[in-house]
């Protein structure tokens, strides 16, 4: 267990646990090839939970993403989400929506819930009809348990599950926030990301959950990129069932709101970084911090341009301090720059000072580039705003995985 | 020799030749590692030629690019261009401009020209000072000859030179247009591209050359991408010395203007495709044609999004007809789409019809994907505009080349 203090908030990162009132399960039904994995799962709250979501901006939005958005927008309540991997039910025409609705119905019936309290999430290959016989078999097998199998049941080419549980104290009540997600490829979220779920037992004031999610997604999931491709299925869904029995938390400046918001942000930020670190084929997590930008938007744009550059990514894979590519990536953006006074550090070693090579020690720099996490700091020297983004290196394995994805 | 008829214009593609009045040369001075190559060169016209250019929009525009732009803008005349590879003289601070000016001066002095008739072009690594001793040695060695060595003296990771010569007949006068360029990596031109040079002996009316170049660059060089990275040194420079002694050609609807413009476009288009086909590590040229778009800009945007998608590029390398990635790339753009009636063909085989899998024969499709040129046709079904873009596949070699570029 680790304690963190941020913005004067203390929070504990604890081993994976479901917040009060949540049950879940995951099973294998044959959607994936490997029977040692899980490929269907669900998540259930004993009581209807406040719900909020952000969704892909890809115009070919998949049926389950569309349906979950409609379902959440109905009354901003959810009590369960049923999920599958290996088939995204995307670009599947009218049949896709029929199948998503049936998947929702199957889960709702088994749980004795109204359809409009059940979200649906699918990920995997695009353009093939959802095998409904397997989906039906999956819902039949799913139970209401305490295991974390659902966090595995949404993975595709991900190397491992991505989960985090955090506890905070709100007026003497223990509040737990648990998040999990899948990432890997086609990761370049715009206003949303790949599948991400954050559930809490906190009691949240009406409307505040969507506000917090939307604000925080912009600075976390929307600031990661693996390959510049935005999926048709991206969504982040969050549920808050109130069973921690704290006083309702608003999205305001109160101490409790700040405390919750800090912990909530830590969950989103950690999941986003996990996705970047486990980008398809990646060997390194790349974090870019931009300082002294004219605007926050400029800082975010520059940070994302650097983590998004294939050339920067390939150089980092090769552990080559090719800073000209970082400078070129900065210059490609519309952000205000000071072309004579831009500076760049790599893992705290000066790389470029005032737009000139910092005359670094190649051996020391090369050794630093062997790290699993590479941090790039950019000083734009034009203002006081900062921004951040995360990505990964571009490797032979990225090419291998994506040259043969359907085989 | 091959004859082409396009827009009722006949033009001949002829073996490489310099148009009337042009001389050139290329030498090896030690900028590149391999002494069997050329690394400096120049191009000279016996008389001052009308000149036009387009330049990178990267904010860190390199000194030689800046200087050549200033030089051309002075009187829209050039008589020579001196070039080097292996060092881009980019992000080299004030010294960079001092060095570019000296390189210009050295060439002008040797040729007995005013400085402001001499352009300068550099390409190669960013951030290292230009080795002026070698540049001086190069200018000393260069002569006024008829060889094509200069077309080799601008290559970096390019596998081969990219050249084309076309002849047309304008009112009984033979007009020659010769172009050459370098491409390979950091290719994602915005308003310009990597180094490209197009010289002709045509006589062009005042102002018409820049108009034609700017219009045609948008539909050719600006529609290619290798890796989404825009270089600091991109430029296309064109010279027309009038020695063919035709009546001056305006940029209008006259027969001669159409004839010249068609041939000129064939030069630019061929060079742009050569760059895409020889993208770093590439094994295939990818051409995307978009039809029935709402606007030309939409069509261009969709075409470029598809050739720019890492996932599409990796699938093409793997010869995998993963059409979901093409659909996802289309949906990522802001172009107007009909999400239920989008169709895609690959090398004339139907892949997606009305947003559903075309139920294609996987064996036949796989065989077609073995071709060296992959043509993707997209029907957006929303209007009457068309667009085009070119790119290449994403391969292990792209990663290898860019993981080790500086070594």
Residue-wise pLDDT tens digits, B156-184: 878 889 899 999 998 888 999 998 888 76
DSSP, collapsed to helix, strand or coil, labels residue A70 as: helix
CA angle A360, A380, A218 (to 5 degrees): 115
CB contact under 8 A, B93 and A340: yes
Chain A, residues 173-202, CB within 8 A of chain B, namely 185-186, 190
pLDDT of A57: 76
| Phi, psi torsion values for B307, nearest 5 degrees | -65, -20
Catalytic site residue from A68, A163, A178, A193: A193
B3-12, B270-279, B359-368: which has the highest mean pLDDT? B359-368
pLDDT of A185: 60
Chain B, residues 224-263, CB within 8 A of chain A, namely 227-232
List CB contacts (< 8 A) between B360 and chain A.
none
Burial category of B401 from C-beta neighbours within 10 Å (exposed 0-12, middle 13-18, buried 19 and up): middle
pLDDT of A227: 61
CB contact under 8 A, A405 and B320: yes
* Confidence check: pLDDT of B190 > 70: no
Q: How close does chain A come to B314, measured CA to CA in Å?
A: 5
Whether A115 has a binding-site annotation, put simply, is no
pLDDT band at B187 (very low <50, low <70, confident <90, very high): low
Chain B, residues 35-54, CB within 8 A of chain A, namely none
User: What kind of architecture, by CATH, is found in domain A285-403?
Assistant: Roll (3.10)
Catalytic site residue from B123, B151, B193, B225: B193
- Asked if B125 is an interface residue toward chain A (Cβ–Cβ < 8 A), one would say yes
CB contact under 8 A, A324 and B394: no
Residues of chain A with pLDDT under 70: 1-9, 184-194, 225-231, 405-407
- Tell me the mean pLDDT in the region B371-393: 94
CB A358 within 8 A of CB A251: no
pLDDT of B205: 86
Pick from B217, B91, B205: nearest CA to A354: B91
ipTM: 0.73
Whether A407 has a binding-site annotation, put simply, is yes
Whether A402 has a binding-site annotation, put simply, is yes
Cα B62 to Cα A105: distance, rounded to the nearest angstrom: 61
pLDDT digits (tens, 9 = 90+) for B288-305: 999 999 999 999 999 999
B60, B311, B327 ranked by CB distance to A60: nearest: B327
Q: How close does chain B come to A133, measured CA to CA in Å?
A: 21
Chain B, residues 363-402, CB within 8 A of chain A, namely 394-396, 398-402
Which residues face A3 on adjacent strands? A12
Residue B245 structure tokens: 């002694």
CB contact under 8 A, A406 and B320: yes
Which one has a higher pLDDT value, B146 or A4?
A: B146
CB B304 within 8 A of CB B223: yes
B190, B232, B331 ranked by CB distance to A59: nearest: B331
Q: Which residue is closest to B314 within chain A, CA to CA? A: A403
- Asked if A125 is an interface residue toward chain B (Cβ–Cβ < 8 A), one would say yes
pLDDT of B49: 92
B93, B229, B331 ranked by CB distance to A311: nearest: B229
Torsion of CA B299, B300, B301, B305, to 10 degrees: 100
List CB contacts (< 8 A) between B357 and chain A.
127-128
If you average pLDDT over every residue of chain B, what do you get?
88
Domain ranges of chain B: 2-277, 285-403
CA angle B276, B394, B124 (to 5 degrees): 60
Q: What is the largest CA-CA distance in chain B?
A: 68
User: What kind of architecture, by CATH, is found in domain B2-277?
Assistant: 4-Layer Sandwich (3.60)
DSSP, collapsed to helix, strand or coil, labels residue A68 as: helix
Q: How close does chain A come to B324, measured CA to CA in Å?
A: 5
Which one has a higher pLDDT value, B139 or B200?
A: B139
Cα B276 to Cα B184: distance, rounded to the nearest angstrom: 8
Q: If you write DSSP's letter for every residue of B61-97 in order, what string do you get?
A: --HHHHHHHHHHHHHSEEEEEEEE-SB---S-HHHHH
Interior/surface letters B308-326, b for 16+ CB within 10 angstroms, e for the rest:
bbbbbbbbbbbbbbbbbbb
- Asked if A167 is an interface residue toward chain B (Cβ–Cβ < 8 A), one would say no
A193 as an active site residue: the answer is yes
pLDDT of A2: 64
CB B86 within 8 A of CB B121: no
- Asked if A129 is an interface residue toward chain B (Cβ–Cβ < 8 A), one would say no
Mutate to test the interface with A, among B62, B326, B331 (most CBs of A within 10 A): B331
- Tell me the mean pLDDT in the region B333-342: 91
DSSP, collapsed to helix, strand or coil, labels residue B192 as: coil
pLDDT of B4: 67
Q: Helices A208-219 & A255-277, crossing angle to 10 degrees?
A: 40
């Amino acid at each position: 267990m680790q304690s963190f203090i941020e913005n004067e908030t203390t929070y504990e990162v604890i081993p994976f646990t479901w917040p009060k009132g949540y049950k879940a399960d995951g099973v294998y039904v044959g959607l994936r090839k490997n029977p040692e994995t899980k490929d269907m799962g669900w998540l259930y709250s004993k009581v209807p939970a406040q719900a909020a979501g952000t969704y892909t901006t890809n115009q070919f939005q998949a049926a389950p993403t569309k349906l979950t958005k409609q379902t959440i927008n109905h009354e901003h309540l959810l009590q369960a989400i049923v999920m599958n991997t290996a088939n995204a039910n995307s670009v599947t025409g009218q049949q896709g929506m029929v199948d998503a609705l049936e998947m929702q119905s199957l889960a709702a019936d088994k749980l004795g819930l109204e359809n409009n309290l059940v979200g649906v999430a699918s990920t995997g290959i695009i353009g093939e009809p959802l095998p409904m016989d397997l989906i039906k078999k999956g819902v039949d097998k799913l139970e209401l348990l305490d295991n974390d199998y659902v966090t595995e049941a949404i993975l595709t080419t991900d190397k491992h599950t991505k989960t985090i549980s955090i506890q905070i104290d709100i007026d003497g009540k223990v509040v737990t926030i648990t998040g999990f997600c899948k990432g890997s490829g086609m990761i370049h979220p715009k206003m949303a990301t790949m599948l991400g779920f954050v559930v809490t037992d906190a009691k949240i004031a009406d409307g505040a959950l969507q506000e917090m999610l939307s604000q925080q997604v912009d600075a976390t999931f929307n600031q990661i990129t693996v390959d510049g491709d935005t999926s048709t299925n991206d969504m982040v869904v969050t549920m808050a069932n109130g069973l921690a029995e704290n006083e309702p938390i608003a999205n305001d400046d109160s101490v409790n709101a700040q405390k919750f918001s800090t912990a909530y942000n830590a969950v989103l930020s950690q999941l986003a970084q996990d996705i970047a670190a486990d980008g398809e084929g990646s060997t390194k997590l790349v974090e870019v911090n931009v300082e002294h930008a004219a605007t926050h938007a400029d800082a975010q744009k520059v940070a994302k341009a650097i983590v998004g550059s294939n050339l920067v990514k390939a150089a980092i894979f090769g552990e080559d301090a090719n800073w000209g590519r970082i400078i070129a990536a900065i210059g490609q953006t519309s952000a205000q720059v000071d072309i004579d006074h831009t500076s760049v550090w790599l893992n705290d070693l000066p790389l470029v000072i005032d737009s000139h090579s910092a005359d670094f020690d190649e051996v020391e720099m090369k050794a630093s580039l062997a790290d699993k996490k590479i941090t790039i700091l950019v000083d734009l020297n034009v203002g006081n705003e900062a921004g951040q983004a995360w990505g990964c290196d571009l490797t032979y394995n990225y090419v291998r995985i994506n040259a043969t994805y359907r085989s």
